[in-house]
Homo-oligomer: A and B are copies of this chain.
Amino acid sequence: MSSVIGKNIILSVFGESHGDAIGCVIDGLPDGIRLDTERIYAEMQRRAPGRDKTSTPRREADMPRIISGVLDGVTTGAPLAMLIENTNTKSGDYKNVMTVPRPSHSDYPAYVKFGGNNDVRGGGHFSARLTAPLVFAGAIAKQILEEKGVTVGAHISQIGAVKDTAFDKNGVSADVLTALTKKPFAVIDDGAEQKMRDEIERYRLDQNSVGGAIECAAVGLPVGLGGNMFDTVEGRLAQILYGIPAVKGVQFGLGFGFAAANGKAVNDGYEMRDGAVALKSNNNGGVLGGMTSGAPLIVCVAMKPTPSIAAPQDSVNLETMENTVLEIKGRHDPCILPRAVPVVESAVALGILDMMMEQD
């Protein structure tokens, strides 16, 4: 099991949901970056639980403590380690999952893989809480990217039956993306927010949960990041994005929409615009031949409904090897999407920064 990623910027994530602390080490950060800690905290607040009814009522301080790699607020070039102490945990709520795996969670394969040694309290190292260090690292990556003229932003493109307006694939701007990162509920069409909230509330009242999708964009990228075959922008970003719990699909541009499309309709032609080569359309989501094309990067991830629901579910008892019915107690988000927006942005930002570090 590896919680380490990256070629030039190496992120190592550690911690368990109900352990002493969670955190990360970021190795390979450029030196001389004056960290915008207010911005880091703001990004982490976007992910933090307990802000409204769409999320779990738990409250996490989630205040990161920087251990190393920063001196007088400026990165030193040495590994940056960060720690978030766990202060408010209630392990008792999860005791039964020791023997009865929760459906659609990591419990059963982890039980087999680790022979029962893995920390199961609150999901242990598999908990979505481990996305907090990812957001921390992503906030730093986004700051560095912005100093290089690259802006990353995302919105909830779908929750259950409700869809938001999609990004204008060839016209999305840094302003649009920055505005999204400041919304408490990140949607492009403000009218979609209440409908999505209603959708979530409907499932919550039914002891149920609901899935969705997040669309993320990056603008200002140089042409030619990434590469072909096994160094594609798509493959490198997908590997990080699939590190976010609940992500089950990753697509670029039209993505699965390409399956029903024809070349005449979706090929992205070129034209001269303001004296420079420009794409007439951006169905490829800013990536051609595995490399950035100059058009905005558009990636969309599908997330499954929160597996933890209050309704009774069929499972088995791994000790007695008998069928049983599981009732999950504890506090859980009926929909993970609103809090996952900065997590998706972070994964994309980290992947882009890692690629930009090797740009010649």
Contact = CB atoms under 8 A, between A and B. Distances in A.
Interface of A: 1-5, 7-8, 10-16, 19-23, 25, 27-28, 30-32, 65-69, 71, 74-81, 83, 101, 103-110, 112-115, 117-119, 124-126, 130, 158-161, 203, 206, 208-213, 223-224, 227-232, 234-236, 238-243, 245, 247-264, 266-272, 275, 277, 280, 283-285, 288-294, 302-309, 311, 313-316, 318, 321-323, 357-358, 360
B108 A293 contact: yes
A122 to B, nearest CB: 12
Q: 7 closest Cβ contacts across the A-B interface?
A: A106-B289, A113-B224, A1-B227, A249-B251, A78-B125, A235-B242, A269-B314
Given A104-B266, A112-B224, A271-B316, 16 more contacts: A1-B27, A2-B230, A13-B230, A19-B68, A76-B118, A78-B119, A105-B289, A106-B228, A211-B262, A234-B248, A235-B242, A236-B239, A248-B254, A248-B284, A263-B311, A267-B305
A330 to B, nearest CB: 15
> How many copies are assembled?
4
B125 A228 contact: yes
B28 A12 contact: no
B76 A125 contact: yes
B290 A242 contact: yes
A146 to B, nearest CB: 19
A113 B14 contact: no
A104 B255 contact: no
A290 to B, nearest CB: 7
A147 B101 CA distance: 31
Contacts of A241: 235
A2 B357 CA distance: 14
A270 B239 CA distance: 28
A221 to B, nearest CB: 10
A208 to B, nearest CB: 5
A341 to B, nearest CB: 14
Contacts of A125: 68-69, 76, 78-79, 228-229
Given A106-B288, A250-B249, A316-B271, A303 B12 contact: no
Contacts of A314: 269-271, 280
B118 A256 contact: no
B10 A208 contact: no
A105 B262 CA distance: 15
A138 to B, nearest CB: 14
Q: Which of A14, A66, A314 has the most CB of B within 10 A?
A: A14
Contacts of A360: 30
A323 B316 CA distance: 60
A135 to B, nearest CB: 14
8 contacts: A1-B227, A20-B67, A22-B68, A31-B118, A109-B293, A161-B260, A235-B242, A256-B302
A104 B267 contact: yes
A284 B249 contact: no
Given A81-B15, A109-B288, A109-B292, A258 B248 contact: yes
A63 to B, nearest CB: 15
Nearest to A245: B289
